[in-house]
Structure 1
Amino acid sequence: METTDKDILRGGQFLVKETNCNDVFTPEDFSEEQKMMKDAVKEFNDREIIPNKPRFEAKDYAFTEACMKKAGELGFLGVAVPEAYGGLEMGFVSTMLVCDYISSGTGSFSTAFGAHTGIGTLPITLYGTEEQKQKYIPKLATGEWFGSYCLTEPGAGSDANSGKTTATISDDGKSYKINGQKMWISNAGFCHLMIVFARIENDKNITGFIVEYDKENPNGITLGEEEHKLGIRASSTRQVFFNDTVVPVENMLSERGNGFKIAMNALNVGRIKLAAACLDSQRRITTTAVQYATERKQFNTPIADFGAIKVKLAEMATSAYSGESACYRAAKNIEDRIALRIAAGNSHQEAELKGVEEYAIECSILKVAVSEDVQNCADEGIQIFGGMGFSEDTPMEAAWRDARIARIYEGTNEINRMLCVGMLVKKAMKGHVDLLGPATKVQEELMGIPSFETPDYSELFSEEKDMIAKLKKVFLMVAGAAVQKFGPDLEDHQQLLLAASDILIEIYIAESTILRTEKNVKRFGEASQKVQIAMAKLYLYNAVSIVEKNGKESIISFAEGDEQRMLLMGLKRFVKYVNYPDIVDLRKEIAEKVKAENKYCF
């Protein structure tokens, strides 16, 4: 069946429209080609990356470069690149899948891979002229050259557009001279090309440039020493200094002053792919933890048999399953939106740009949720290992250190939290997402008399889906009242935005988990999905608690008197189960399955 525009929800519309489980893509929907690619990436990881972890931890940057070259030879660097420029031109889901499974061996390698294939290559693919693409993309797609991305400066981190690096046109108008300093530049030690952002004269916005780098002829470029970092130790990270670096005018990327837009759109793609890059780490950490827990005995009993450890294993497995459900749901939405635009006559560049931009809210949601889940997973992994978890001789401490950066790069989680709510409000103002209508209905519901009828929850997930609908009402109630109160000044109330974003995040991840599980129950049968059902219910239960806490904080922060009482009563009504799930039993069921399989097995 052909996909029509009506079938695909626009970005952010998940909040106000119900999604049918048959309309979501899940990892169980992978094509044969995608399964083959997944197996090839896992095989590469098991052969080249994981056995050599000590070399990565010893900061062997030459070895990172050599592994990147092998990844290029196997086609992994060109998965997202059009065939016309030497790539495989696979869909967005396949590019996510490669990011997912290549990232489990070590955060060092996945950072090098992500920086090159994402922010090092993508800006040229999406914004380059035909000549620029023909000249550079084939080299980047095959691993002949490696790319890096020079945006951050000592005084310009989250405020990327405030950079001080300058680009000055030459007297003959044929070149620019770039002067300035960039920091935290991944792949700087072995790159051949840099995407550099600089300001021309007193332009409001920065401009992007493609800058070649040759160690033998550095053209005014000098590199700082390798940074000594908490984690991702084999990822080459250096400062880059530009001193009258000459760049031909034809190497300007897109138009003058378009750099900030390039940077933001590159980050949208980077955010969802970073979420994917945290997934297999969670699976492997969970597997390593359960294998240790079944072997380690205390009081003559494997620690995996203790309830306190079962809680950890169940929550670790659940967060991995949920993050995976949400990531591939969004990835397929993006892929379908790109296909629609191409069918409508858009170029590959325009279609991909607009396709990803449409789901910028979901990209930010996923970046925050999954980066925090992988850190929690590694933290619990250390705890299960006990004292051994703190030792460099076991894999957990490196996993924990590598995970820590994920909450910082591609925009800090604080920035992304505020972005996802801010973007949603802007979409509503443009008429792309109708928030006003549903928010008004929630307001009317609060003023009306609640129904005292007991709903019929006889069907699987009927209460859970009703609960998701009620959580959406919480967001609409809180955000609607906050927008009414603060209007355009809402962005000044950062604590309120952070709380609202946590509600939004939990809604998206919980709904994605339930929809995936419901779809698989329909096609594989309930018996085969018993533990997945338990994980969907467990995730939702945890989500409801988070929504309740953040909803209460928000309401108390901006409402008082009768309004506050009414909103708090509404919150209480919207987070109340009719039939509370037995969380202890659910966790036990999930943990027993993981223990029996001796690995993450979903």
Structure 2
Amino acid sequence: MVTTVKGGSFVIDSADWNSVSTPEDLSGEQLMIAGTTEHFIENEVLPHDEALEKLDYGLTVRLIRKAGELGLLGVDIPEPYGGLGLDKVSSTLISEKLARGSSFALSVGAHVGIGTLPIVFFGTPEQKKRYLPDLADGSKIAAYCLTEPSSGSDALGARTTAKLSEDGTYYELNGTKQFITNAGFADVFIVYAKINGKLFSAFIVERSMEGVSIGPEEKKMGIKGSSTCPLILEGVRVPVSNLLGEPGKGHLIAFNILNIGRFKLGAGCVGGAKEAIALSASYANERTQFGKPISSFPLIGQKLAEMNIVTYVLESMVYRTAGLIDGILQDIDLSSEQAGVQSAKGIAEYALECSIIKVFGTEALDRVADEGVQIHGGYGFIQEYKIERIYRDSRINRIFEGTNEINRLLIPGTLLKKAMKGELPLMERAQSVQMSMLEPTSVRSETDDRLGEEKRLLATAKQIFLLIGGQAVQTYGMELEEQQEVLSRLADMMIRIYAMESALLRAEKITARSGAAKGGLAEAMTKVYVCEAFAEIEQAAKQNVAAMASGDLLSLQLSVLRKWTRHTPVDTISLKRRIAESVKTEQRYTVIR
């Protein structure tokens, strides 16, 4: 059962496993969609892998249209406009399963996500009727144009201009957009420009419009099979009917679509990590050294276990968030005039969680890919082995959809804004925690709860965050946004808390529904992750305290942290060996055995 909860409330409230969406909840229809996507990648995309990596525009377009014929492009598009109008969990599944298609997955992802969703959520009925059916079946391919040569993270600093004609029938657009995915073959571009150099607005621009031209392909480190070119606009006359949303409200579209893009990127990272685990486990079982497979060596097993754990945690976070987004968007009538406003409000509710997914997911995939190369040894550095490409391709993820540095600033910043608006009782809870600093803390007690200690550590982690976050607000006031190092550590604490809770709730759900035997592996992975993440939260808290306090106050704060963080760590070595055995036996990512 999916319930609507306030975005960011996970730092102050407890959640119940009944309230979260997990991969184990997938319906028969959703599993069929996943199977269709896997079959398409296996039989239509991978046989052309080498040609796709050489940037064959024609082949990419043909395959995107085949995906459209299968319905894989229309999941997020309402039925009246040629789509399937399915839930975000189904959309998440497709994003995950497409990941095995490497660069092709990026081409499809840019089309169905940031390219198409602006029209789905913010288009007028006429715009939807005109564009969405063709985007749903792949007759037309979309691209998203926000970044400029002089403005990347500072999106609102865009210099592309739009000037309304004297007769009021069209806008004249001039400017250049940079690093545009799908630009080489896209038909429809979502372009952001400033009306009269002031009002940041969005426009639907067609490739066929006079004055539209495409620059040369960028020579990239990875994702070589995707098109990345500049879009050049020189006196392009865009009909006023192609203004997307209201003049000066382009930021509502840009930022909320980026939120969805960040979330979908995290889903793709799940798929990439799973493929890297399968490749690495299979190789480790086959590769022999000193007369036995390298998978039998504990340090290789440890790598496989850690790869599996971080993927399990990410997957738990992604599907939990998909459920939250479904819950808040499911009742919006996308054909109504208020659809854009309602959609923006709904998506913005979980902007914080989307940023968390983006940061954690991209860094998790980088870690998994890096360890995958290490397990392959010298062969991991050779292009013949796909782990080499996964490693190269993964690096861009920490840059686009807002760099991880920008997202780390957004995470606590968004939480504080919600608190200032009265949407979350954040400061009240923080003050309560400060008042209880000197009270005796609960110690570990015997309990029948299999994850009782992990729950206690999670609750303590939230308490620590509220203490340190509250002190940061008191110390810096309005100048807190300038303290990027402090904000980054607060973000890391929030990321770890969301990750810990998502993994814990999923493990509880598996055990409650399928029994202790089925839930044993998930519980083991949760125990390891909570133990290690709690240590990271403790370290981040100490670093912030040292930056904000001195003298007696510093001593008091450190004393409180020592008291709160006192616990007996679990035997992560034994747990990781157990997890590694499952991965080696299955030769793939595994949660339930």
Residue 192 (structure 1) aligned with residue 184 (structure 2) = no
Aligned in 2, Cα 1:309/1:138: closer, same or farther, shift over 3 Å? same
Separation (CA, whole Å) in 2 of partners of 1:575 and 1:38: 42
Residues 54 and 164 of structure 1, relative CA distance in 2, 3 Å threshold: same
Aligned 1:180-579 pairs, distance under 5 A: 180-203=175-198, 205-214=199-208, 218-339=209-330, 348-450=339-441, 454-577=444-567, 579=568
Q: Select the residue among 587, 591, 597 that pairs with 2:576.
A: 587
Q: Distance in 2 between matches of 1:353 and 1:201?
A: 25
Return the alpha-carbon distance in structure 2 between the equivalents of residues 97 and 189 of structure 1. Answer: 27
The answer to whether the 8 Å contact 1:335/1:355 transfers is no
SS at match of 1:87: coil
TM-score by length of 1: 0.96
Provide Cα deviations, 1:432-456, integer angstroms capped at 9, x if missing partner: 11112221221122133445x5423
| 1:63 paired to 2:59 | yes
Alpha carbons 2:149, 2:178 under 8 Å: kept:
yes
Aligned counterparts of 2:343 and 2:545: Cα–Cα separation in 1: 39
More deviation, 518-527/167-176: 167-176
Deviation at 1:350, TM superposition (A): 4.4
Whole-angstrom distance in 2 between the partners of 1:406 and 1:202:
31
Deviations 1:73-125 (A, max 9, x none): 1111110100010000001111111111112221x112111111111111111
Work out whether residues 78 and 142 of structure 1, in 8 Å CA contact, stay in contact via their aligned partners in 2. Answer: yes
CA contact (8 A) 2:317 2:357 kept: yes
Tell me by how many angstroms 1:490 deviates: 0.6
Quick one: distance in 2 between partners of 1:269 and 1:478? 30
Determine if contact 1:446/1:566 at 8 Å carries over to the other structure: no
CA contact (8 A) 2:383 2:389 kept: yes
Matches of 2:157 and 2:564, distance apart in 1: 43
Superposition pairs for residues 135-174 of structure 1, below 5 Å? 135-174=130-169
| 5+ long unaligned stretches in structure 2 | none
Kept after mapping to 2: 8 A contact 1:270/1:410: yes
Paired residues of 1:151 and 1:160 also in contact (CA < 8 A): yes
Unmatched tracts of structure 1, length 5 or more = none
Question: Residue type of the partner of 1:508?
Answer: Y
Deviates more, 1:186-195 or 1:437-446: 437-446
Look up the equivalent residue of 2:265 and give its one-letter code. Answer: L
Offset of residue 561 of structure 1: 1.3
Give the SS at the match of 1:77.
coil
Identity between Structure 1 and Structure 2 (%): 42
Deviations 1:323-349 (A, max 9, x none): 000110011011112235569x99554
Change (3 A) 1:226 1:278: same
Is contact 2:159–2:197 with CA below 8 Å preserved after alignment?
A: no
From 76, 92, 96, the equivalent of 1:96 is 92
2:11 is equivalent to residue 15 of structure 1:
yes
Residues in 1 aligned to 2:168 and 2:557: alpha-carbon distance in whole angstroms? 62
Indicate how the Cα distance of structure 1 residues 341 and 61 shifts in structure 2: closer, same or farther if over 3 A, else same. Answer: closer
How far apart are residue 574 of structure 1 and its match? 2.9
Would the aligned equivalents of 1:77 and 1:140 in 2 still touch at CA under 8 Å? yes
Structure 1 stretches of 4+ moved >4 Å: 340-343, 345-351
Q: CA deviation at 1:571?
A: 2.1
CA positional deviation for 1:352: 3.4
Look up the match of 2:124: 129
Specify the SS of the correspondent of 2:330. Answer: helix
Contact 1:510–1:543 (CA under 8 A) maintained in structure 2: yes
Q: TM-score w.r.t. structure 2 length? A: 0.97
* Cα deviation digits, residues 406-445 of structure 1 (max 9, x gap): 1111100000011010000010111111112221221122
Equivalent residue for 2:41?
45
Q: Distance in 1 between matches of 2:549 and 2:55?
A: 53
In the alignment, the residues of structure 1 paired with residue 4 and residue 246 of structure 2 have an alpha-carbon distance, to the nearest angstrom, of 32
Q: How many pairs were matched up? A: 590
Structure-2 separation of matches of 1:413 and 1:121: 24
